[in-house]
Amino acid sequence: MVLAELGGRITRALQQMSNVTIIDEKALNECLNEITRALLQSDVSFPLVREMQSNIKKIVNLEELAAGHNKRRIIEQAIFSELCKMLDPGKPAFAPKKAKPSVVMFVGLQGAGKTTTCTKYAYYHQKKGYKPALVCADTFRAGAFDQLKQNATKARIPFYGSYTESDPVKIAVEGVDRFKKENCDLIIVDTSGRHKQEATLFEEMRQVAEATKPDLVIFVMDSSIGQAAFDQAQAFKQSVAVGAVIITKMDGHAKGGGALSAVAATKSPVIFIGTGEHMDEFEVFDVKPFVSRLLG
């Protein structure tokens, strides 16, 4: 279910409830059940949905509400604040500072959009006056370096990589050292992905992280992966210190629930979303406007 559809269904469930003369336990349960179904079909993981439902019931105590209160409004507000809470882990992600070298490492499965997103992230910060640089430590996928090189050249961002070196740790360290010497303040390390979560991938990620000591590890997740989002995000978090999430491919048939699940699994905020293949199809992620849009 795409985001707009989810919002529409939640809004309809609330409207249906307001058609009922008396909002009692039964009407509230029917409304919450419909919202639960909508969230599950949008790939929000089941434990999260259950938690949200019980939280709303705690907030909305129908018996205690004085007559005349707008109960529908109160329920609506509870849903809004629960969705915001699910998307806000309570601490902001590390923010790079200008003129002070920061290392940001990107991790994620192959095809998630890591390489594309690295350039988008670099380009975004370059426009804000940072001096970014890109390091291709993906020695697994043939063509990864060429892709990064092409993107970086288009955006006029310095890059580092190798056609012959097969040790990703060595390339990552060399690249980071070089760009620190060149006074770049945002050194972005693209790492290898795999088609699925594999022990070798996680071991490689750990080694690159240990050698480059990133200030921030960004987990890149494809929004269309469905109910697998929670487990996948959690598996990455268990291997490296993920500090932020970027959700890609939010254009097209994107499901919104993955974002909520990834935040819950990594306890890290979503910082950007990818909305297309081009460099500037990249948006800062803000919780409240996102949820407002979601609820229409």
- The residue (of 219 and 230) whose beta carbon lies closer to ligand GDP is 219
Q: What angle do CA 254, 216, 199 make, to 5 degrees?
A: 75
The site for ligand GDP, by CB under 6 A, has a size of 17
**Minimum distance, C-beta of residue 120 to ligand GDP, in the bound complex (Å):** 8
Cβ(223)–Cβ(111) under 8 Å?
no
Residue 115 found at the interface with ligand GDP (CB under 6 A): yes
**Of 101, 168, 269, 274, which lies in the binding site for ligand GDP, with binding defined by CB under 6 A?**
274
- Lookup result for tokens 């795999």: 194
**Minimum distance, C-beta of residue 58 to ligand GDP, in the bound complex (Å):** 37
Residue 108 found at the interface with ligand GDP (CB under 6 A): yes
**Minimum distance, C-beta of residue 296 to ligand GDP, in the bound complex (Å):** 23
| Nearest-angstrom CA–CA distance, 251 and 139 | 29
Residue 114 found at the interface with ligand GDP (CB under 6 A): yes
Map residue 267 onto helix, strand or coil.
coil
Residues 189-248 that bind ligand GDP (CB under 6 A): 193, 248
Four-residue CA torsion sign, 222, 223, 224, 227: positive
**Minimum distance, C-beta of residue 41 to ligand GDP, in the bound complex (Å):** 22
Residue 111 found at the interface with ligand GDP (CB under 6 A): yes
- What kind and span of H or E run contains 271? strand 270-274
Residue 251 found at the interface with ligand GDP (CB under 6 A): yes
**Of 271, 275, 290, 294, which lies in the binding site for ligand GDP, with binding defined by CB under 6 A?**
275
- Lookup result for tokens 């269309």: 224
**Minimum distance, C-beta of residue 185 to ligand GDP, in the bound complex (Å):** 24
**Minimum distance, C-beta of residue 9 to ligand GDP, in the bound complex (Å):** 24
**Of 170, 177, 194, 276, which lies in the binding site for ligand GDP, with binding defined by CB under 6 A?**
276
Q: Which stretch binds ligand GDP (CB under 6 A): 3-11, 43-51, 237-245, 268-276?
A: 268-276
| Nearest-angstrom CA–CA distance, 273 and 250 | 7
- The residue (of 114 and 237) whose beta carbon lies closer to ligand GDP is 114
- The count of C-alpha atoms lying within 13 angstroms of the C-alpha of 96, restricted to the half-sphere facing its C-beta, is 30
**Minimum distance, C-beta of residue 107 to ligand GDP, in the bound complex (Å):** 10
Closest CA to 43 of 255, 270, 232, 187: 255
Which pair of structure tokens corresponds to residue 36?
A: 């639960």
**Minimum distance, C-beta of residue 190 to ligand GDP, in the bound complex (Å):** 7
| Nearest-angstrom CA–CA distance, 137 and 135 | 6
Number of H helices, E strands in the chain: 11, 8
| Nearest-angstrom CA–CA distance, 216 and 272 | 14
- Pairing mode of beta strands 102-107, 216-222: parallel
Cβ(149)–Cβ(204) under 8 Å?
no
Residues 49-88: x where in contact with ligand GDP by CB under 6 A, - otherwise, as a string? ----------------------------------------
Residue 252 found at the interface with ligand GDP (CB under 6 A): yes
Residue 110 found at the interface with ligand GDP (CB under 6 A): yes
**Interface residues with ligand GDP (CB under 6 A)?**
108, 110-116, 193, 248-249, 251-252, 274-277
